[in-house]
Amino acid sequence: MESGTYPEFSTHYPLLLTTFMKRPVSLYPQQIGVVYRNHVTGEYSRFTWDQWYRRTAQLAHMLQSQFGVKPGRPGAPGDRIGTMALNTHRHLELYYAVPCMGATLHPINVRLAPEHVIYTINHAQDKIVFIDDAVMPLLENIYDHIKDTVEMFVYMSDRPGLPETRVKNLVSYEALLAQQPDQYDWPYLHEDTNATLCYTTGTTGQPKGAMFTHRQLYLMTLHVMAMPSVVNTPQHDIDAGVGARLGENAVPMLNTPMFHIHGWGAPFINVFSAQKIVLPGSFTVQGFCELVEREKVTSVGIVPTVAAMLLEYPDLDKYDLSSLTRIGVGGGALPLGLKTKLEQLMPNFRVSSGYGMTETAPTTIMSFVKKHMVDWGREQIDEIMVKTGLPLPGLEVRVVDPDGNPVPQDDRTVGEIVIRGPWVTEQYFRAPERTAEVWRDGWFHTGDIAKVDAEGYIVIADRLKDVIRSGAEMVPTVLLENLISMADFVLEAMVVGVPDPVWGEKPLALVSLRPGHEASEQDVIDFLIRHGVDTGKITKWMLPRLVAITRDIPKTSVGKYNKKQVREQLDRFLAIAKDVSGPAHSQ
């Protein structure tokens, strides 16, 4: 009689996020694994890996027994569980309990315009929404638009009890959690079971939901960890990839919002690495400095805007930030001047850049030096580290011309970035026509334009869809143009991005007035506030910072706005623009 085999536990062993969750508790059950500081009260919560794991098991029981959450299978996602949460230990618990029991985690970007938040919840058909106390005002605002979709709201707070609210079906996270067993029999799911659903920022219409399986997130995590990077040595040595990132002494701070494309992968990488994770709730410069000093944070991911805020913070030298050795910058181009100034101010750390998007979970390209560059001088190394970078191992990334041919590596010829690989989203949720727009000829078309240098380094050059990147967020120019054009006094309106030393880019609005009408630049902003911000169509940080009243709005031969010409003659348009920035523009 032939002996039995078990391919499901050998050659077909599923690649699951459950593996990441179990590793730290098996190695270091009594070590502090998760530190959370309430950004409002300043109070700290500390959890050993065993405590965090048990709370996560209790949460899985709550989802299954209390709410009847159903798991999914390949091709059929489980119940969607939304989170309107900041970077807290509860959000990290949700990041594992939801997908590891088979359901789909939907981190809701609470910085989107309210109408887009409403759209994503209804489109995802979220069965339950977990809500932080700090985000309750937003829920109160949109409740009437989602109450027929969401069956239950779970309130998360460091304080006991529930708030006074008109939201029905609101229950307490901690009260329910305490009633659950602290061990859970995690299922051996199929690795192609959907784990997460992340929506884009809706810059060219309604947001799109990118779907990711356990296998995709598992492979992305391992490949990111395998990516070499420069470490803090005078010789600019290359680190050991996975080995270095598995070091228990590293202390990462999850600064990128966990509702923003998986927090750039940090919740997966840092848990699997069994490192002490520091969660700041929400970002403030003072809070950042206090956490780095107190917890001896070694690494963090930030956007260029945050880097500029750190540089401008007058009390920076009052804090001991010497533990910080590496800062990864994403969400926008990393200016060389900003990198240099930060490293001069805090010489113990190095800054590097990268590129990704919602549909790639997000990481695709990261900057690092090749082995023959290790002994180069500091200035040469810096020039490499501010480039967008090289593709991650495991991904195919090309920059192609309109015919799909790779552009020459001349650091001049531009083309579109196209990608394929194991963690690129296969499809948009409930949107096959939008999936077909981006997946063509076997490649995912990003819509971003770049050039390639002789060493193969990719550098973002422009964007096909003219989206403005302001800080970590994207400003939809078409939406702004449409809103401005609604004003009675406006004939035409065009919005383009112009360089800004703090935000990376800022919106410039070119507006022509209807004959017989008079209006000022401030009238344009006031109109946008009343009809855009106050109605939830846009947020305050999307408002143009420069407005030019002009009859000279360039157009192409077919009557379309010629934004390329504006950029080529930017000085001429900036000369007639007025600065309308003010408190309403703070992000």
Could you read off the pLDDT of 515-542 as tens digits, one per residue? 788 999 999 999 999 988 998 878 888 8
**Per the domain annotation, does 246 fall within a domain?**
no
**Per the domain annotation, does 182 fall within a domain?**
yes
Single out the residue in 207, 227, 246 at which a domain terminates.
207
CATH of the domain at 176: 3.40.50.12780
**Per the domain annotation, does 535 fall within a domain?**
yes
Single out the residue in 180, 207, 234 at which a domain terminates.
207
Q: What is the pLDDT of residue 313?
A: 85
**Per the domain annotation, does 313 fall within a domain?**
no
How many Cβ atoms from other residues are within 10 Å of residue 438's Cβ? 18
**Per the domain annotation, does 568 fall within a domain?**
yes
Domain count, the chain: 2
Each residue's pLDDT tens digit, 542-565: 899 999 999 888 875 344 578 878
Q: How far apart are CA 24 and CA 33, in angstroms?
A: 8
Single out the residue in 207, 232, 265 at which a domain terminates.
207
Range of the domain at 504: 468-585
| Averaged pLDDT score across all residues of the chain | 88
Each residue's pLDDT tens digit, 387-422: 889 999 999 999 999 999 999 999 888 889 999 999
Res 128 pLDDT > 50: yes
Res 423 pLDDT > 90: yes
Query: Is residue 198 a contact partner of residue 210, using CB atoms and an 8 Å limit?
Result: yes
Res 263 pLDDT > 70: yes
CATH of the domain at 488: 3.30.300.30
Least confident of 130-134, 221-225, 479-483, 536-540: 479-483
Strand order across the beta sheet in which 277-279 lies: 44-48, 32-37, 277-279, 252-253, 299-302, 326-329, 350-356, 363-366, 390-391
If you search the block for the tokens 């979220």, which residue do you land on? 126
Read off the pLDDT band of 191 (50, 70, 90): very high
Res 586 pLDDT > 90: no
pTM to 2 decimal places? 0.82
Secondary-structure percent of the chain, ordered helix, strand, coil, rounded to 5: 35, 25, 40
Question: Is the C-alpha dihedral spanning 110, 112, 115, 121 positive or negative?
Answer: negative
**Per the domain annotation, does 109 fall within a domain?**
yes
**Per the domain annotation, does 498 fall within a domain?**
yes
- Over the Cα atoms of the chain, what is R_g? 24
**Per the domain annotation, does 444 fall within a domain?**
no
Res 241 pLDDT > 60: no
Q: Count Cβ atoms within 10 A of the Cβ of residue 243 and give its class: 0-12 exposed, 13-18 middle, 19 or more buried.
A: exposed
Each residue's pLDDT tens digit, 471-488: 666 676 767 887 888 788
Least confident of 24-33, 110-119, 558-567: 558-567
